[in-house]
Amino acid sequence: MSRRVELGIIVSLFSLVALVGATSLAAQEKTLATGQPKVEVLVTTELSEVGLSGTNVAQRVTIPPGTKMADHTHTGRTSLLIMVQGALTEVRGTTKHEYKPGDVIKVSEGTTHHAENYGTVPAVYIEINTTAKK
Distance CA 32, CA 67 (A): 5
Task: Name the superfamily (CATH) of residues 33-132.
Answer: Jelly Rolls (2.60.120.10)
**In angstroms, how far apart are the furthest CA atoms of the chain?**
74
DSSP for residue 103: -
Distance CA 8, CA 6 (A): 5
87-116 residue pLDDT tens: 999 999 999 999 999 999 999 999 999 999
Residues in the chain: 134
pLDDT at 28 over 60: no
Cβ neighbours of residue 96 closer than 8 Å, sequence gap 6 or more: 89, 90
Q: Average pLDDT, whole number, for the chain? A: 87
Give the residue, 58 or 31, on which the prediction is more confident: 58
Distance CA 84, CA 128 (A): 13
- Which residue, among 64, 65, 97, has the nearest Cα to 81 in the 3D structure? 97
Q: What is the mean pLDDT of residues 4-25?
A: 57
Q: Give me the sign of the Cα torsion angle 86, 129, 108, 93.
A: positive
Amino acid at 43: V
Give the start-to-end residue ranges of the domains of the chain: 1-30, 33-132
Distance CA 55, CA 131 (A): 5
